[in-house]
Amino acid sequence: MNIFFQEHPQAAADTISAAAHSAGHEGGGGGNAFAGMLEHIKDSHELEFPPFGHIPLPHFPPVEIAGVSIDLSITKHVVFLWLAALVLCVVAIAAARKNAKNRIPRGLGNLLEIFVVFIRDEIAVMNMGQAGLRYMPYLLTTFFFILIMNVSGLVPYGSTATGNISVTGGLALVAFVMIQGAAIRAQGLGPYLRHLTGGVHWSLWPIMIPIEILGLFTKPFALMIRLFANMVGGHIVIISLLGLIFIFRSYVFAPVPVLFVIGLSMLELFVAFLQAYIFTMLTALFMGLGIQAAHAGGGEHGDGH
């Protein structure tokens, strides 16, 4: 069921909404409460904060660019994306100042150093060699930024910005630029363009070049969908289990889904760390493939020497 929800999040949400609507007709206000839980995984133009109720966010008229209408209004996911960036900056700067004063890191500085060393040794160097050290700032920023956004959805009245495909698409776009940039830097522009031919006879270039170009985009596309589907899928499963309480309308049955939800919430915390790691690791792996291609071809621009 979890795989189906991950692959068809909108269909799952529509199914749950229909069940909630049906339960609302049969059981009074229970369906409305159930339907209200779906707002947790949806983007909206307001924030829900009990002491102040629903806080509306600024809404701007759409902007027309090359015939395409773009809505630049601030939404809930945008707010939590900015909040994640702010938390990351505050925590990183505080840890850096503490580590600058203490030769032996303690507290927050020591905790962050564990992650830094792990990403350096097990992700950057392992996938890119010593050339990966120059990309450590990007890898660290990607890991912590995604992690904070993932965890924010587990906070009461919080929201998971990575549950928005536009956010994961933006992260994948940056990863695409870094992957191609690392390959061009290591190989040089000429060898990088030549690798698009696949090393086959020129008569096969019309077939091979489109395939190679398509392959360049499938990697970031997979990163985008994987992160989005896993974060949305987990929340939909939790809401589905809680929805059983409103569907069966039984206090006797209620403890069963509640216990499952508690267990899934702990699993979601693990998934938040896991997905941040997977996104960062795969990005470093794809960057490493371009760097290693320069070394394998004896390129003069290899960074690992």
- Print pLDDT tens along the chain (305 aa): 344 334 444 444 454 444 444 444 444 444 555 555 566 677 888 887 777 778 888 888 888 888 888 888 888 999 999 999 999 999 999 998 888 888 788 888 888 999 999 999 999 999 998 988 999 999 999 999 999 999 998 888 888 899 899 999 999 999 999 999 999 998 888 888 888 887 788 888 888 889 989 989 999 999 999 999 988 888 788 777 777 777 777 777 778 878 888 888 888 889 999 999 999 999 999 999 888 876 665 544 444 43
Q: Does residue 203 form part of some domain? A: yes
Range of the domain at 209: 77-296
Q: Does residue 288 form part of some domain? A: yes
pTM: 0.80
Rounded Cα distance between 187 and 140, Å, is: 24
Q: Does residue 22 form part of some domain? A: no
Q: Does residue 67 form part of some domain? A: no
Q: Does residue 215 form part of some domain? A: yes
Residue type, 26: E
Q: Does residue 106 form part of some domain? A: yes
Number of domains in the chain: 1
Q: Does residue 244 form part of some domain? A: yes
Q: Does residue 88 form part of some domain? A: yes
